Structure 1
Amino acid sequence: MFAPRVALASLSGESDADWAKACEHPAGAAFLGGVALDEPTREAARAMVDRDRDEFLPEDPVEFVDDQLSALDDAFLRAGVNVRTVDLDPLREVTEVCASHDAVLEVNAHCRQDEMCAAGAGESLLRDTARLCEQVETASDAGAAISVKVRAELPDVHLPTLAQAVERAGADAIHVDAMDSRRVVRDVSDATDLFVVANNGVRTREDVFEYLSYGADAVSVGRPSRDPEKVRAVYAAVKEWFL
Structure 2
Amino acid sequence: MFGPRVALASLSGRSDAAWAAGGAEHAGAAFLGGIALDERSREAARELVARDREEFLPEDPLAFVDAELEAIDDVPIQPAFNVRSATVEPIEAAAEICADRDAVIEINAHCRQDELCDAGCGEALLADADRLCEYVAAASAAGATVSVKARAEVDGVDLPATARRIDAAGADAIHVDAMDTESAIADVADAADLFVIANNEVRDRASVREYLSYGADAVSVGRPSDEPAVLRRVRRAVDEWFEGGEQDHGSGTTTAEPASTPEPHS
Secondary structure of the structure 1 residue equivalent to 2:81 = strand
What pairs with 1:1-243 in structure 2 (closer than 5 Å)? 1-243=1-243
CA shift, 1:86, in A, is: 1.5
SS at match of 1:22: helix
What value does the CA root-mean-square deviation take over the aligned residues? 0.6
TM-score for the superposition, normalised by structure 2: 0.90
CA-CA distance at 1:35 after TM superposition: 0.3
Letter in 1 for 2:65: V
**Contact kept? 2:10, 2:30, Cα under 8 Å:** yes
CA distance in 2, matches of 1:63, 1:203: 34
Cα distance in 2, alignment partners of residues 172 and 238 from structure 1 = 21
Question: 1:37 and 1:155 mapped to 2: Cα distance?
Answer: 26
Per-residue CA distance 1:189-243 (angstroms, 9 max, x = gap): 0111100000001011011001000000000000110212211110000000011
**Amino acid corresponding to residue 86 of structure 1 in structure 2:** A
The 8 Å contact of residues 7 and 218 in structure 2, kept in 1 or not, is answered as: yes
Aligned-pair distance for 1:123?
A: 0.7
Amino acid at match of 1:93: A
Amino acid at match of 1:188: V
Partner SS for 1:56: coil
Give the structure with higher Rg (CA).
2
1:126 Cα deviation from its structure 2 partner = 1.5
Give the distance between the partners of 1:226 and 1:151, measured in 2 at CA.
22
The 3-state SS of whatever aligns with 1:206 is helix
CA drift of 1:75 comes to: 0.8
Name the TM-score, length of structure 1 as normaliser.
Answer: 0.99
Counterpart residue type for residue 234 of structure 2: V
Percent identity over paired residues: 62
Cα displacement (A) at 1:152 = 0.5
Can you list the C-alpha shifts for 1:153-172, whole angstroms capped at 9, x where unaligned?
11311110000000001000
Distance 2:209 2:98 in 1: 31
CA distance in 1, matches of 2:145, 2:126: 20
Matched letter for residue 184 of structure 1: A
Cα distance, 1:121 vs. partner? Answer: 0.8
Does the Cα contact within 8 Å between 2:123 and 2:154 map onto a contact in 1? no
Unaligned runs of 5+ in 2: 244-266
CA contact (8 A) 2:7 2:28 kept: yes
Q: In 2, distance between residues paired with 1:29 and 1:168?
A: 24
Counterpart residue identity of residue 48, structure 2 = M
